[in-house]
Structure 1
C-alpha cells in the first residue's frame, strides 16, 4: 500500500504540474526557463503534499482497518489497536467502530473463558462432594448385603452410618438448589421489620450446648434493653447468622471465644461475628465465599459441611443490597461483618405493668 500511495501521489503531481505548465505556456511573456521552474515547483510541492495526505490520512488508516479485519477473521481481538492516535483521520469513525466492536468481543471471549473454567471447576467440585457420601453409603449397604445384615449389632451400626451419609447428601443437594435458585432469582427476599438483637439471642441459645462442649465463650455485646430493628428477610438473616456462628464455633479451639457485636449507624446496622479461631491466610481471604472453597480441604472435610455455607451467605447479603466482608489474622481469629438497613418504623414502646395493684 505504501508503493501505491507514492505512485498515486506521483501521478497526481505530474498531472498538476503539466496542467500548470500548459496554462503558463499560453501566456506570451513567460520564458522557457520560467516554465521549467514552474513545473519543478508545482511537481515537488504537489508530490509532497499529496503523498503526506494520502499516506497519513488515508492509506495508513486503511492499512489499520485491513489489519483489524484480518485479526477479526482470525478471532484475535487483542491485536486491534486503539484508533485514538490519529484524531485528524477522516476514517477515524470507522476505526472507532471497529475498535469498539473488537473490545466488546474480547470482553465476551474473556467472560466465556472464565465461565468455562468456572464450569469445569464447579463440575469437578460437585462430583467430588457427591462422591464422598454416595460411596460411603454404598459401602455400608453392600457390606450388609454381603452377609453382615445377619449380625444385629453390625446391622444397626452400618445402617446408622449409611443414613448419616445420605443425610449429608440431602443437605448438599438442598444447598446446591438454594444457591442455584438465588443466582437465577427464583428465591425472593421477604422483607419485614424485626429485632436483630432478639434474633441473635435465639440463635445463641441454640448453640450454647455445642459451645459448652468445647468450653467456648459464646456471647454478644451491647446486650441492653433497647431493640435494634432492621428491615430484612427474617429467615435469610437467621440463616446467615446461624452459618457464621456455627463456623465460628467449629473452627475455634477449645476455651476460645465467639462474639457477636452490633454497631448502629444513622441508616444501617453493622453486625460482626468474631472468633478466636486459627484464622484465614491472606491469599485465601478473597476466595472464602466461593462455592466449595475450603482453606484447608482435609481438615475442613473432617469437620463436615458442604462448602456452600459462605457462598449462600454472600448471595443472601447481596440480595439485601449489602456486602459481607471478612478480616482475619492467622493464629488469632477472624471477623465476618455485614450491614443491614435500619427499620423505618417508629420506635416501639413496650408497655410493662409494673405498678402496684390498688385495693378496692
Structure 2
C-alpha cells in the first residue's frame, strides 16, 4: 500500500492523536484505565473518519480530477461543457474546474489553428495549380508566336484565340476568388429587397441559352405564378442561379433537360435546379461546396469553370439566412435546392 494512500495517512494520524490523548489522560491523577481506553479509542476512530474524509474527498479526489484533466489534454478529450461544471467553495475543486475550462478552450484554439493551417496549405497548393494552368497555356501560345509562328496568319489567329481564352479563364478565376474572399470577409453585404424571382430566373436562362443550345439541352422553368416576390439581393441571387444552372448544363446529358422549379411554402419559396446528368457519388456530396473541389478533375477541366462556383453559391445562400442542399443519385441526376423568404402580394410595397 502506497505511503501516500489516504487510508494509510489517516490511520497514522489517528494513532498519533489517539496516543497523545491517551498519554495526556494517563498523567492526569485519578483517571480510570477504562476511561483512558475509551478516550483513546474514540479519538482514534473520530480522527480516522475525519482525516480520511478530508484527505480522500476534499483533497485526493480533486487532485485526481486535476490529473485526469491533464490526461484529457494529452488525449484531446474535452467533451464537457462549462454548464456541467458545478460551482464549489472547495478551492481545489474550483482550481480543477478553472484548469479544465481553460485547457479545453486552449485545446479548441489549437485545433482551430491547426485546421486553418491545413486549410491554408491546401488553398495555396490549389490556387497555385489553378493559376499555373492558364498562365502557362497563354505563355506557351505567345512565346510560340514570338518565335516565328506570327508570320503564319492562320496559326497566329488560332494561337491568339487560345491565349485569349486562357487569359479569360484566368480573369474569371481571379474575379471569383475576389468575390468569394469579399463575401467570407463580410465586405459584401446583401442588399435584400423585393425581387421578382421569375423575372431574375428568366434573365439567367436567356443568358445561358447559347451554351445550352450547343449541347441541345432544354432549360425549363416551372412556376405556379407569373410573378413571385421574395426578399433577396437580386444581383447575388442571379449570380447563384447562374452558377447552378450553368453547372446543370455543363454536367447534364447531351440533349437532356434542366428543370428549374419553384415550390411555395408557408413562409418561403423553394428553388430547385435539377439536371439529368451522371450524378455525384455519395462520398463526394459533403465536399462539393469546398473551394476548387471537383468530383472528376479531368472532366471538370475539360468543361471549364473555376472550381469556385458552388462555394460562392453556398456563401450567397447562407448570407440570405438560408441553406443550400444537394440530392444526387449516380446516373439519375443531381438536384440543388434552397429557400428564400416569401413576400406576400399584399406586402408588395415592401
TM-score of the two chains, using structure 2 as the length reference: 0.88
Q: Which residue of 2 aligns with 1:208?
A: 209
Q: Does 1:258 align with 2:263?
A: no
Q: Which residue of 1 aligns with 2:108?
A: 107
Q: How does 1:235-254 map to 2 (within 5 A)?
A: 235-254=235-254
Q: Which residue of 1 aligns with 2:288?
A: 288
Shift of 1:254: 1.2
Contact 2:87 2:94 in 1 (8 A): no
Select between 265-274 and 145-154 the one with higher mean Cα deviation. 145-154
Contact 1:57 1:89 in 2 (8 A): no
- SS of 1:286's partner is coil
Question: How has the CA–CA distance of structure 1 residues 196 and 121 changed in structure 2, closer, same or farther, with 3 Å as cutoff?
Answer: same
Question: How has the CA–CA distance of structure 1 residues 152 and 213 changed in structure 2, closer, same or farther, with 3 Å as cutoff?
Answer: closer
Q: Which residue of 2 aligns with 1:78?
A: 76
1:99-123: CA deviation from partner (whole Å, max 9, x where unpaired): 1111111111111111111111111
Shift of 1:277: 0.8
Shift of 1:18: 3.5
Shift of 1:203: 1.8
Stretches of structure 1 lacking an aligned partner (at least 5 in a row): 350-360
Question: How has the CA–CA distance of structure 1 residues 348 and 80 changed in structure 2, closer, same or farther, with 3 Å as cutoff?
Answer: closer
Shift of 1:89: 8.9
* CA distance in structure 2 between the partners assigned to 1:33 and 1:170 by the alignment: 103
Contact 2:223 2:263 in 1 (8 A): no
Select between 89-98 and 125-134 the one with higher mean Cα deviation. 89-98
Q: Which residue of 2 aligns with 1:122?
A: 123
* CA distance in structure 2 between the partners assigned to 1:206 and 1:85 by the alignment: 59
Contact 1:77 1:106 in 2 (8 A): no
Question: How has the CA–CA distance of structure 1 residues 81 and 110 changed in structure 2, closer, same or farther, with 3 Å as cutoff?
Answer: closer
Contact 1:81 1:99 in 2 (8 A): no
Q: Which residue of 1 aligns with 2:66?
A: 65
Q: Which residue of 1 aligns with 2:99?
A: 98
Q: Does 1:310 align with 2:310?
A: yes
Q: Which residue of 2 aligns with 1:331?
A: 331
* CA distance in structure 2 between the partners assigned to 1:347 and 1:11 by the alignment: 84
Question: How has the CA–CA distance of structure 1 residues 202 and 78 changed in structure 2, closer, same or farther, with 3 Å as cutoff?
Answer: closer
* CA distance in structure 2 between the partners assigned to 1:43 and 1:290 by the alignment: 70
Shift of 1:77: 7.0
Contact 1:285 1:326 in 2 (8 A): yes
- SS of 1:194's partner is strand
1:173-204: CA deviation from partner (whole Å, max 9, x where unpaired): 11101100001111111122121012112222
Q: Does 1:218 align with 2:223?
A: no
* CA distance in structure 2 between the partners assigned to 1:321 and 1:237 by the alignment: 13
Shift of 1:223: 5.2
Question: How has the CA–CA distance of structure 1 residues 55 and 80 changed in structure 2, closer, same or farther, with 3 Å as cutoff?
Answer: farther
Question: How has the CA–CA distance of structure 1 residues 240 and 58 changed in structure 2, closer, same or farther, with 3 Å as cutoff?
Answer: same
Contact 2:14 2:43 in 1 (8 A): yes
Q: How does 1:32-181 map to 2 (within 5 A)?
A: 32=33, 34-36=35-37, 38-65=39-66, 68=69, 76=74, 78=76, 90=90, 91-181=92-182
* CA distance in structure 1 between the partners assigned to 2:199 and 2:315 by the alignment: 23
Question: How has the CA–CA distance of structure 1 residues 81 and 17 changed in structure 2, closer, same or farther, with 3 Å as cutoff?
Answer: farther
Contact 1:281 1:328 in 2 (8 A): yes
Q: Which residue of 1 aligns with 2:340?
A: 340
1:313-359: CA deviation from partner (whole Å, max 9, x where unpaired): 0011111111111101110101100011112563659xxxxxxxxxx
Contact 1:192 1:231 in 2 (8 A): yes
